[in-house]
Structure formats: structure tokens, C-alpha cells
Chains A and B, each alone.
Chain A
């Protein structure tokens, strides 16, 4: 089965500073999803990456998938308190018949200090 490792597990960043979260897979990623979760709430979909070398941005958040499709990074520029939360990466199974099951990483807890 596919395993996803996220790093770091947690980080504290000063408001206005940049931060990067990594998601590494033991197998080729066919679809990589980034979600954000506030404590005690559901997951909010951020972005999806499919192609090697792909990069997407939304507001101050940029996600990239490396050429080998085994690692993704999420970068937040000039962090704000609203960026605090838990960020999770999720990956599609390689077999489409598996019904879009996602495997998730352990999450990265982000705290932004004002």
C-alpha cells in the first residue's frame, strides 16, 4: 500500500514569514491532494496535482509536484494567522478501480505567531 510521510510534523512560524511542508511517497503519485483542517472541523480542499513538475498557486499558497512524482511541497508566502491549522496531503491509488480511495499523510500542524 502507498505510504505518505509529511514533514515537519509541526511548526511555529512568525507572522509574515514563509513556510514549507513536504509530502513524500513510497510510490509514484498519480494524484496528490492538499487539504487544510482547522481543529475539530472537516477538511477543506486546497489543490490537486497530477503531472510531474506541476505547480499550482492560490492566493499565497503554492503546491508543487516533483518530476519523479514522489514528492510534493506546499509553500506559504508571508504567513498570516488565518494560515494556522493542520495541512494534510492525500494520494490517489494507482488503480482507478479502487474507487478514488485516498491515503493520507500524518498531517503538519502549523501555528502562526502574531
Chain B
């Protein structure tokens, strides 16, 4: 079955440490996205990528970095510069070039501070 796989499900970060969240999709989607969700709130866009080797900042990109070396993969690194990283992180993908295609989501990674 096609879908989006995020790993790990739970992740803990120490002070000053960078951590990387994995996102893999086998839906053959061109576009991929990273969102952050805080308790009781909606989703906020961190980064998105419409094509391999290209990505754009979203609304809250500071303290995060991404890469898009393969169509299937869009890893997110939470750097030590992100002072409040505790949140639920969701990865999504969608078809590109078609009007109003829904985004499909992974099951999320919950990041906490040790």
C-alpha cells in the first residue's frame, strides 16, 4: 500500500543537539511538506518542496533545515538554534501540477526535550 512513513514515532533531544526526523513516501508525489503542531493548535508550515533539489521556507523555518535529494525522501533537521522544539511534527505530500490536490499525511513524530 502507498503511503507516508515518518520515523521515529518518539524522539528526545538533549541540549545543544541536532536531531533529524525522517519522512519517506511511495506515492510518487512531487511535493512534500513539514508541519509543526503544538498542543491545542492547528498546523504551521515549516518547509516545503515542490521538486527534487529545491525547497522553500514556510512560516516558521527558523531553527530547522531540510534536504530533498530524492523524490521519496524529505528529512527535517531540528537544530540547536530551535529553542522550543517540543511539538508534534507532521510530514505530508501531494501531487503537483494539478489543481487542488489534497495533501496526504504521515503519522507524525513527537519530539521532546530531555
Query: Which residues on A are within 8 Å of B, measured CB to CB?
Result: 1, 4, 6, 9, 30-31, 33, 35, 40-45, 48, 50, 88, 90, 92, 96, 99-107, 109
Number of residue pairs spanning A and B whose beta carbons lie under 8 angstroms apart: 71
Provided the pairs A99-B31, A106-B41, A107-B41 are in contact, do residues A42 and B107 lie with their beta carbons within 8 angstroms? yes
Partner of B103, one of A1, A4, A100, A105: A100
The residues of B with any CB-CB pair to A shorter than 8 Å are 4, 6, 31, 33, 35, 40-45, 48, 50, 56, 58-59, 88, 90, 92, 94, 96, 99-108, 110
**A101 and B58 contacting across the interface, CB-CB below 8 Å:** yes
The distance in angstroms between the C-alpha atoms of A33 and B33, with both chains bound, is 16
A107 touches B102 (CB 8 A): no
- What are 8 inter-chain pairs, A to B, with CB distance below 8 A? A9-B40, A31-B100, A40-B88, A42-B4, A45-B102, A96-B99, A102-B103, A104-B44
CB distance from B63 to the nearest CB of A (A): 20
Q: What's the nearest-Cβ distance from chain A to residue B20, in Å?
A: 19
